[in-house]
Amino acid sequence: MNKNLTLLTDLYQLTMMQGYYQNNTTQTAVFEMFYRKNPSQNGFAIFAGLHQFIDYINNINFDVDSLEYLKSLNIFTPDFLEYLKNFKFTGDIYSIPEGTIIFPEEPLLRVTAPILEAQFIETTMLNIINHQSLIATKASRVVHAANGDPVLEFGLRRAQGPDSSLYGARAAIIGGCSSTSNVLAGKEFDVKISGTQAHSWIMSFKSELDAFRKYADLFPDKCLLLVDTYDTITSGIPNAITVFDELKAKGLSSDFYGIRLDSGDLAYLSKKARKMLDAAGHKEAKICASCDLDEYLIADLKRQGAKIDTWGVGTKLITSDDCPSFGGVYKLVAEKNGNNNFIPKIKLSDNPDKVTRPGVKKIIRVYDKENYKIKIDIIALEDEHFDESKTYIISDHKARWKKMTIQGGTYITKELLIPIFLEGTCVYNTPTVMEIHSHTKQELNTLWDEFKRLVNPERLPVDLSDKLYELKTNMIEEYRAVELI
Amino acid sequence: MNKNLTLLTDLYQLTMMQGYYQNNTTQTAVFEMFYRKNPSQNGFAIFAGLHQFIDYINNINFDVDSLEYLKSLNIFTPDFLEYLKNFKFTGDIYSIPEGTIIFPEEPLLRVTAPILEAQFIETTMLNIINHQSLIATKASRVVHAANGDPVLEFGLRRAQGPDSSLYGARAAIIGGCSSTSNVLAGKEFDVKISGTQAHSWIMSFKSELDAFRKYADLFPDKCLLLVDTYDTITSGIPNAITVFDELKAKGLSSDFYGIRLDSGDLAYLSKKARKMLDAAGHKEAKICASCDLDEYLIADLKRQGAKIDTWGVGTKLITSDDCPSFGGVYKLVAEKNGNNNFIPKIKLSDNPDKVTRPGVKKIIRVYDKENYKIKIDIIALEDEHFDESKTYIISDHKARWKKMTIQGGTYITKELLIPIFLEGTCVYNTPTVMEIHSHTKQELNTLWDEFKRLVNPERLPVDLSDKLYELKTNMIEEYRAVELI
């Protein structure tokens, strides 16, 4: 990403910044990003987009053009515009690594910086991380439904604009896809790309057989033929078999050959196609299917015994069709006072789920020592420590009578937030996309199947430490007391 | 858009191109883009994205990096890569102008070029035009529901990546939004931007009243105060009234002042707020609402008498939440033979709706001469002409017994496709985004209200000319005859 995204922000960020600037409000603030609800009724989400967010921070620059434009709006003062000229991010950012399993309410990203800077980066952060986390999560659902079969990301033409396809393909690979059709994504992220031919190829030759033959001549070792241009059963598959026979007769070995079904009933057609291919001696020929697939249809086709080896998933993955947004938000949680102490901040709401959790926080993930499955996530204050040899009783913060005992010696803890920027300097090396893809796979192994169900999964407990629970409760009561006066 | 999007394509476009190249397949082909179904159950769609598509075509360039990458894949031959080095689009493109009302099955964009070129540009064209047409259509629904009230586009943080927010904001303005919060969109497209303050502003001051006062000091002439940080009725609105009183007492006139509601029940709160503001003498204070709005909720709030003047619409507009993709496709419809004649091409399918319409086509829009409302759209072959003084009987192509008579002298016709590129050179000057916004408004006036209903709208007749109908029927029967042999 070489684009300058500095102005890709909501106008109110700049009006508020000018407000802070004019009031000499330079105190250090702490903001945290979190989300409230898993997309697509999933049991968790996959965190993604950190690398592009880092690029954004590193490239913040109000250039001459941008400053001219802001000046032309007649709402900013000359001294504030002068301040923007040298604006850089100078604070600290802690984040969860990409490919990590996350749950609602957890602080995913924590920013400690002069309030102007911490405020400014909100919108672009949310845009980038909401998008990629959404698509990574959706992809992991689709890959889960495919149950070990390769899933190919095919959505470029239906993605919401160029970036959406490019970074969507990145997120899809992070979520578990094996490859993408997107050539630019292949180049930018060093991931596998795939694709063969479209209906127009078949239509541009005198006959389907002719089109297949020409394709086989060109790419004998990767010969996947699209069989539904005229009629799958009476024309496409017989012609494909003729070409596969010819390849065999020529003694050409093929890494990968087979057919692609792109319309009709995929359960019926794939079973019929399998029989026809097998009867013709092409047991090793693969059947790839595409056509409005998503995790629900893939799971259903598998239940019906469809003979599909590879799934090309387009529109519904790249747009996260059933839930096209990820609701990440970014809230002020603390401010430094004159004595350099962090004063917690809270936002109230009539809706209890919208009351924020005050204070500088972290996530402690607790794994079972035996099998390394996640037992519970604890949102705690930054200065809290858990001793793995000790026994703790954790209360459900929404129903305090529900308690979980974690027995000393039976568990391992891990803190999920790691430093990304310290005093404005990036201290983190982003892994490659394929390394993140592997990390996601390992992460998914830390979850029992109950949490991975596509519909109505079990909810993993995410609770507040007692100290955080008390802080939150006390602050709410303090505000309520003021209200009652 | 300065990015080089040349590699933003599906791998199969390049493998097919190599196939055409190796086979010396250089014939001129005609492809048309169309879509099959209106998004969000709307009665029509709004065409958008042409300008970015033009930019893309003008900037196609396989640079050294791209060619190196393609070479590294080991699937392309050196002579084909050499060919790509100087690859340019040299053909003709006709398109509907942006902001125009469109209907399913109509040829929106027609490309006539050597088949390698016509094939290559498919994916990026679809990506760009599908996205912007989707969002322009969704925006027009939201604006229709708001019934004359300004609609502000606020979705940046939930859009599917940076481009999605930037070009989504452009499309939202084309669809009828009054402004966007997106500063970069304001700069790039010269459209109005808006926004004031977030909860963090309120929380960063000692009290809500203090935060409001500071904001009013800074922006007395555009003072919209966010009133739901602590409690809308008992705290936010009374504090806002105090500040409005103070502004008045100072004799400061304000272009625009008011409150923003961002949570709670917007019908109840807006009516209560209106009463409180009026009782305090602030009848001119505006009430702006935001919070998970879409066309359905806006229409319902209006039915319940909500006192909302301005609507800030975010997530559900910028992602087209209930239908996050626009299904534009691009199909081969004809090829030139050795005698320089166009030979029509057809793609069959078991699903009758997926059989393509063969031949080089255009759209003739027929307006009632009296009121300039659309009567019917006719998809015709390029060489057909309609004489406005003559009477025609048009048959419904899906139910031939349904006929419409257009009486000579009572109608006006307009051809919608206009030249954009001729022999590779752009011959079109894109209007400004605000000009397109005005064009959309005029276009919407050509539709009766029946076609604009949000749910279950009447379907405008789009039919095939007799000549096209016959061509299609004959071609289908020809293929079927072959099949039966």
Quick count: other Cβ atoms within 10 Å of Cβ A389?
7
Lowest mean pLDDT across A398-402, A414-418, B142-146, B370-374: A398-402
B183–A11 CB contact, under 8 Å:
yes
Q: What is the pLDDT averaged over residues B374-379?
A: 97
Check CB contact under 8 Å for B7 and A331.
Answer: no
Give the mutation candidate from B20, B157, B322 for the A interface (greatest A CB count, under 10 A). B157
Record: contact A156-B8, CB cut-off 8 A: yes
pLDDT at B165 over 90: yes
Rounded Cα distance between B48 and B137, Å, is 9
Q: What CA–CA distance (Å, rounded) separates B347 from A168? A: 30
- Name the minimum distance, in Å, from the CA of B384 to any CA of chain A: 25
Three-class secondary structure of residue B78 per DSSP: helix
Inter-chain residue contact A10 with B183, CB threshold 8 Å: yes
Span A236-250, pLDDT tens digits = 999 999 999 999 998
What is residue B179's three-state secondary structure?
strand
Checking if the pLDDT of B1 tops 50, the result is no
Residue given tokens 């993955």 in the structure block: A317
Min CA distance, A417 vs chain B (Å)? 22
Question: Across the interface, which of A135, A196, A321 has its CB nearest the CB of B12?
Answer: A196
* A290 Cα to chain B: minimum distance (Å): 14
In the 8-state DSSP scheme, what is residue A88? Answer: -
Chain pair A-B, CB pairs under 8 angstroms: 314
B443 Cα to chain A: minimum distance (Å): 25
Distance in angstroms (rounded) separating the CA atoms of residues B337 and B295: 50
B455-479 confidence digits (pLDDT tens):
999 999 999 999 999 999 999 888 7
What phi and psi, each to the nearest 5 degrees, are found at residue A116?
-60, -40
Q: Who's near A318: CB < 8 A, 6+ residues apart? A: A135, A153, A155, A156, A158, A159, A164, A165, A168, A169, A172
pLDDT at A91: 98
What ipTM goes with this model?
Answer: 0.96
pLDDT of B221 higher than 90 = no
- Rounded Cα gap, residues A71 and A141, in angstroms: 47
CA torsion, ordered A467, A470, A472, A478, to nearest 10 deg:
-140
Put simply, the answer to whether B164 touches A161 (Cβ < 8 Å) is yes
Work out the end-to-end distance of chain B between its first and last CA atoms, rounded to an integer number of angstroms. Answer: 54
Nearest to B204 among A25, A166, A325 (CB): A25
Query: Which whole number is the average pLDDT over B180-208?
Result: 93
Interface mutation target, options A1, A13, A194, A200, chain B, most CBs of B under 10 Å: A200
A156 contacts B160? CB cut-off 8 A? no
Instruction: Report the C-alpha gap between B128 and B50 in whole angstroms.
Output: 8
Are B199 and A347 in contact (CB < 8 Å)? yes
pLDDT exceeds 60 at position B440: yes
* β-strand partners of B421: B93, B426
For the sheet with B286-290, list strands across it: B179-180, B151-153, B310-313, B286-290, B256-261, B222-226
Give the Cβ contact number of residue B68 at 10 Å: 11
Q: Map out the domains of chain A with their CATH numbers.
A: 11-135+324-484 (3.20.140.10)
Closest CA–CA distance from residue A126 to any residue of chain B (Å): 5
Nearest chain B Cα to A71, which residue?
B187
pLDDT at B483 over 60: no
Sheet holding A418-422, edge to edge: A342-344, A329-336, A28-34, A109-114, A92-95, A418-422, A425-426
Distance of alpha carbon A126 from its chain centroid, rounded? 12
- In this structure, the number of other CB atoms found within 10 A of the CB of residue B27 comes to 15
Mean pLDDT of chain B: 94
The answer to whether B69 contacts A187, with C-beta atoms less than 8 Å apart, is: yes
Q: How long a stretch of residues is chain B? A: 485
Partners of B115 on chain A (C-beta within 8 Å) are 204
The answer to whether A436 touches A98, Cβ cutoff 8 Å, is yes
Number of alpha carbons in the 13 Å side-chain half-sphere of residue B112 = 21
Distance from CA of B401 to the nearest CA of A (A): 29
Q: Which residue of B has its CA nearest to A476?
A: B230
List, in sequence order, every beta strand (DSSP E) within A340-373: 342-344, 361-368
Res A164: pLDDT:
98
Partners of B195 on chain A (C-beta within 8 Å) are: 10-13, 15
Does the distance separating the beta carbons of B157 and A123 come in below 8 Å? Answer: yes
A123 → closest Cβ in B156, B331, B332? B156
Distance CA A10, CA B159 (A): 12
Determine whether the interchain pair B161/A127 forms a contact, defined as Cβ–Cβ distance below 8 Å.
Answer: yes
Task: Indicate yes or no: CB of B195 within 8 angstroms of CB of A15.
Answer: yes
Percent of chain B clearing pLDDT 90 (strictly above):
85
User: What is the Cα–Cα distance from B170 to B180, expressed in whole angstroms?
Assistant: 9
Query: CB-CB: which of A166, A263, A264 is closest to B8?
Result: A166
CB contacts, 8 Å: A161 with chain B: 127-128, 131-132, 160-161, 163-164, 166-168
**Which of B255, B259, B188, B263 has the alpha carbon at shortest distance from B230?**
B263
Q: Do A10 and B263 touch (CB under 8 A)?
A: no
C-alpha span between B449 and B168 (Å, rounded): 26
- Which residue in chain A is spatially nearest to B115 when comparing CA positions? A204
Please, which residues have CB within 8 angstroms of residue B285's CB and are 6 or more apart in sequence? B244, B257, B258, B259, B277
Interface test with A, best of B160, B255, B331 (most A CBs within 10 A): B160
Q: What is the pLDDT of residue B253?
A: 67
Which one, of A261, A196, A194, A204, lies nearest residue A224 by Cα?
A: A196
Q: How far apart (Å, rounded) are the C-alpha atoms in residues A402 and B309?
A: 46
Nearest to A119 among B115, B193, B200 (CB): B200
Q: Which residues of B302-315 are buried (b: 16+ CB within 10 A; e: fewer)?
A: beeebbbebbbbbb
Q: In what order do the strands lie in the sheet with B329-336?
A: B342-344, B329-336, B28-34, B109-114, B92-95, B418-422, B425-426
| Cross-chain CB nearest to A354 (options B15, B164, B263) | B263
Per the structure block, which two tokens stand in for A442?
């390992």
The pLDDT value recorded for residue A278 is 97
Instruction: For residue A172, give the H/E element and its range.
Output: helix A162-175
Q: Name which of A28, A52, A120, A183 to mutate to probe chain B: the one with the most chain B Cβ atoms within 10 A of its Cβ.
A: A183
Give the relative orientation of helices A208-218 and B11-22 as an angle to the nearest 10 degrees. Answer: 100
For the four alpha carbons of B193, B194, B196 and B198, in that order, the dihedral sign comes to negative
Q: Which of B194, B315, B326 sits opposite A11 (nearest CB)?
A: B194
Phi, psi (degrees; rounded to nearest 5) at A325: -145, 155
Distance of CA B468 to the CA centre of its chain: 28
* pLDDT tens, residue by residue, A403-442: 999 999 999 999 999 999 999 999 999 999 999 999 999 9
Residues near A152 by beta carbon (within 8 Å), at least 6 away in sequence: A177, A178, A179, A180, A181, A194, A288, A310, A311, A312, A313
Where does B86-121 have alpha helices with state H?
A: 115-120
Q: Which of B7, B10, B201, B262 to mutate to test the interface with A (most CBs of A within 10 A)?
A: B10
Q: Quick one: closest CA in A to B160, which residue?
A: A131
B447: how many CB neighbours lie within 10 A of its CB? 17
Q: Count the neighbouring beta carbons within 10 Å of the beta carbon of residue A418.
A: 11
Contact B128 A162 (CB under 8 A): yes
Beta carbons of B216 and B209 less than 8 angstroms apart: no
d(CA A121, CA B466): 59
B264 and A350 within 8 Å at the Cβ level: the answer is yes
List, for chain A, all residue ranges whose pLDDT scores fall below the cut of 70: 1-2, 253-255, 350, 481-485
pLDDT at B482: 61
Chain A residues with beta carbon closer than 8 angstroms to that of B119: 198, 200
A194: three-class secondary structure by DSSP: coil
| Residues in a beta bridge with B180 | B153, B193
Mean pLDDT of B214-218: 92
Q: What is the pLDDT of residue A482?
A: 61
Determine the number of helices (DSSP H) and then strands (DSSP E) in chain B: 16, 21
Q: Do you know the residue count of chain A?
A: 485
For testing contact with chain A, the best of B3, B7, B200, B332 (most A CBs within 10 A): B200
Selected for mutation to probe chain B from A10, A40, A59, A194 (highest B CB count within 10 Å) is: A10
Distance from CA of B262 to the nearest CA of A (A): 11
